[in-house]
């Protein structure tokens, strides 16, 4: 009989499948489908090994509690192992992680604490800090710390690497994997480099903005990969090259994998596949590229796979005639003082400084930014309205006056989409391929309407 003794025995041994539609080169690209693990992601692998190692070292004892900051998948893996072995689980997740993913953690019996993303790692509200505090306050707590735990990379050296080597009969020449904690690429590379006498080339895929590909750690939208610090689980000496991929390219490829390859996977799988396709375009017919697809797409149905979500962020379509993007271009040509920059102030500005910007730019609303321009979406902290400034003193900080995020409209959407939003909202932020272009108000649309009118006058 082939019956697993518990769900934990079903972890690993995932299949490899050739990518046909998304790969135009002669070089085969094969995907390792990690969503077929019982918890739905590659993170099941590290969970088992981390818990076993902690039991062996005495860090985790009967009745103990596992506390971990996680983007969701590690939580599922740990929750599976914890319930099978009788531990309690508390997870701290960043607020950008979809609600569906948090619900999954709760379904497995774990407790979930949500922490903000737009703060520095050392901020007491950050998800790293919150989890440290929970560890201190919970008796019998064990923090797996997937960012530094050597059992993470070790699990991939013991399972992911050998599985790829065997399934390809040792013919793999290039490994492509997204880098989050770095555990996957480090452990898998360690095995494959050793097995091949150093010949397998290892390529990291990384979101534009993340430090692995030379960024500063600025925010991006793809989940589960990229970092703003160097984790101990990552060994850069094993990685031959890192390819940076934009959010837009990652998401569009993710949708193609579902529609054209029948693989419903998450955004980081799309990102890794873009890197694999770019790599393959410069390789030869004797090469064999293996790309890891870390998780499934069901947790992202309200994001990557939602047409509206994609359009509003400017990830679908091009900004042609009659589009919001064209309106923004015309407005800039109209001779605005600060054309090309957003009507905005830094978060640390005073009320007096904000009033100066409003007077120079006109309008009644500013964006509040946590970084210098040009910003990315994740660096917009909210909005600041003229009527709130009136009620404050010039020397006051604007911090207490910051209002909610504006609504979004994609640059490729018709002007009618912006108009519809502005009937209910004070302003709408125009996004082009995820990048903030301008903040439109009703006045901008009225100016546009009168321009059109003049244009059609006899």
Ligand X SMILES: Cc1ncc(COP(=O)(O)O)c(C=O)c1O
Query: Is the Cβ–Cβ distance between 411 and 314 less than 8 Å?
Result: yes
Q: Candidates 111-119, 221-229, 303-311, 328-336 — which segment interacts with ligand X by CB under 6 A? A: 221-229
Site of tokens 């994997």: 177
Q: Which is nearer to ligand X, 294 or 314 (CB)?
A: 294
Query: Is the Cβ–Cβ distance between 101 and 140 less than 8 Å?
Result: no
Q: In the bound complex, what is the minimum distance in angstroms from residue 94's beta carbon to ligand X?
A: 11
Using the Cα atoms of residue 276, residue 279, residue 281 and residue 287 in order, give the sign of their dihedral: negative
Query: Is the Cβ–Cβ distance between 45 and 8 less than 8 Å?
Result: no
Q: In the bound complex, what is the minimum distance in angstroms from residue 265's beta carbon to ligand X?
A: 9
Q: Which is nearer to ligand X, 114 or 420 (CB)?
A: 114
Any contact of residue 182 with ligand X (CB under 6 A)?
A: yes
Any contact of residue 294 with ligand X (CB under 6 A)?
A: yes
Q: In the bound complex, what is the minimum distance in angstroms from residue 178's beta carbon to ligand X?
A: 4
Burial of 299 (0-12, 13-18, 19+ CB in 10 A): buried
Q: In the bound complex, what is the minimum distance in angstroms from residue 37's beta carbon to ligand X?
A: 12
CA-nearest of 57, 53, 58 to 81 is: 53
Strands 88-94, 111-115: pairing kind: parallel
Q: Say whether 143 is catalytic.
A: no
Q: Which is nearer to ligand X, 153 or 414 (CB)?
A: 153
Any contact of residue 224 with ligand X (CB under 6 A)?
A: yes
Q: Candidates 20-28, 85-93, 172-180, 334-342 — which segment interacts with ligand X by CB under 6 A? A: 172-180
Q: 123 — alpha (psi -120 to 50), left (phi > 0) or beta?
A: beta
Angle at Cα 131 formed by Cα 125 and Cα 136, nearest 5°? 115
Query: Is the Cβ–Cβ distance between 269 and 17 less than 8 Å?
Result: no
* Nearest residue to ligand X, by Cβ distance, number only: 224
* CB environment 107-141: b (16+ within 10 A), e (fewer): ebebebeebeebbeeeeeebbbbbbbebbeebeeb
DSSP 90-155: EEEEETTS-HHHHHHHHHTT-EEEEE-SSS-TTSTTSHHHHHHHHHHHSTTEE---TTT-THHHHH
Q: Which is nearer to ligand X, 178 or 325 (CB)?
A: 178
Q: Which is nearer to ligand X, 243 or 367 (CB)?
A: 243
Q: In the bound complex, what is the minimum distance in angstroms from residue 157's beta carbon to ligand X?
A: 12
Any contact of residue 181 with ligand X (CB under 6 A)?
A: yes
Q: In the bound complex, what is the minimum distance in angstroms from residue 356's beta carbon to ligand X?
A: 43
Query: Is the Cβ–Cβ distance between 61 and 312 less than 8 Å?
Result: no
Any contact of residue 425 with ligand X (CB under 6 A)?
A: no
Q: In the bound complex, what is the minimum distance in angstroms from residue 158's beta carbon to ligand X?
A: 14
Q: In the bound complex, what is the minimum distance in angstroms from residue 205's beta carbon to ligand X?
A: 9
Q: Which is nearer to ligand X, 74 or 129 (CB)?
A: 74
Q: Which is nearer to ligand X, 205 or 411 (CB)?
A: 205
Q: List 369's β-bridge partners, or say none.
A: 346, 380
State which of positions 45-104 bind ligand X (CB under 6 A). 71, 73
Give every CB contact of residue 38 below 8 A, 6+ residues apart in sequence: 7, 8, 10, 11, 44, 80
Q: Which is nearer to ligand X, 243 or 384 (CB)?
A: 243
Candidate list 94, 183, 219, 297; residue touching ligand X; CB under 6 A: 183
State which of positions 238-267 bind ligand X (CB under 6 A). 266
Candidate list 22, 157, 179, 377; residue touching ligand X; CB under 6 A: 179
* Cα-based distances in Å from 292 to 41, 179, 289, 404: 11, 11, 10, 38
Any contact of residue 180 with ligand X (CB under 6 A)?
A: yes
Q: Candidates 48-56, 98-106, 179-187, 312-320 — which segment interacts with ligand X by CB under 6 A? A: 179-187
Q: Candidates 207-215, 223-231, 334-342, 400-408 — which segment interacts with ligand X by CB under 6 A? A: 223-231
Question: What residues make contact with ligand X under the rule CB under 6 A?
Answer: 71, 73, 178-185, 223-225, 266, 268, 294-295
Report the catalytic residues: 43
């Amino acid at each position: 009989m082939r019956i697993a003794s518990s769900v934990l025995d079903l972890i690993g041994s995932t299949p490899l499948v050739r990518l046909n539609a998304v790969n135009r080169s002669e070089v085969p690209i094969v995907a390792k489908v990690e969503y077929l693990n019982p918890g739905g992601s590659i993170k099941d692998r590290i969970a088992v090994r981390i818990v076993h190692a902690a039991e062996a070292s005495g860090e985790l004892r009967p009745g103990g509690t596992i506390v971990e900051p996680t983007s969701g998948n590690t939580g599922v893996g740990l929750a599976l192992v914890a319930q099978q072995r009788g531990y309690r689980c508390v997870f701290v997740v960043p607020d950008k992680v979809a609600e569906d993913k948090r619900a999954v953690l709760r379904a497995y019996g774990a407790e979930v604490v949500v922490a903000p993303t737009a703060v520095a790692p050392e901020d007491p509200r950050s998800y790293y800090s919150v989890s440290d505090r929970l560890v201190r306050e919970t008796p019998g707590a064990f923090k797996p710390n997937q960012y530094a735990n050597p059992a993470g990379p070790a699990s991939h050296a013991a399972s992911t690497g050998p599985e790829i080597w065997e399934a390809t009969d040792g013919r793999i020449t290039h490994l492509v994997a997204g880098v989050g904690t770095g555990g996957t690429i480090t452990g898998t590379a360690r095995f494959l480099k050793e097995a091949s006498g150093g010949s397998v080339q290892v390529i990291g895929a990384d979101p534009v903005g993340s430090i692995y590909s030379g960024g500063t750690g600025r925010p991006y939208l793809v989940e589960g990969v990229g970092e703003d610090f160097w984790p101990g689980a990552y060994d850069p000496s094993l990685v031959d090259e890192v390819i940076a991929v934009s959010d837009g390219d990652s998401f569009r490829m993710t949708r193609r994998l579902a529609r054209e390859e029948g693989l419903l996977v998450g955004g980081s799988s799309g990102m890794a596949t873009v890197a694999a396709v770019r790599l393959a375009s410069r390789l030869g017919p004797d090469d064999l590229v293996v790309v890891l697809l870390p998780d499934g797409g069901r947790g992202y149905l309200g994001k990557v796979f939602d047409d509206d979500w994609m359009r509003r962020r400017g990830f679908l379509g091009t900004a042609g005639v009659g589009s919001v993007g064209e309106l923004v271009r015309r407005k800039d040509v109209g001779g605005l003082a600060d054309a090309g920059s957003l009507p905005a102030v830094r978060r640390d500005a005073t009320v007096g400084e904000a009033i100066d910007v409003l007077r120079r730019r006109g309008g009644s609303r500013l964006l509040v930014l946590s970084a210098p321009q040009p910003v990315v979406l994740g660096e917009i902290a909210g909005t600041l309205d003229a009527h709130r400034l009136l009620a404050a003193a010039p020397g006051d900080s604007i911090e207490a006056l910051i209002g909610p995020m504006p609504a979004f409209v994609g640059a490729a959407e018709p002007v009618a989409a912006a108009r519809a939003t502005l009937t209910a909202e004070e302003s709408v932020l125009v996004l082009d391929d995820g990048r903030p272009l301008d903040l439109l108000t009703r006045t901008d649309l009225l100016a546009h309407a009168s321009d059109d009118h003049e244009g059609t006058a006899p």
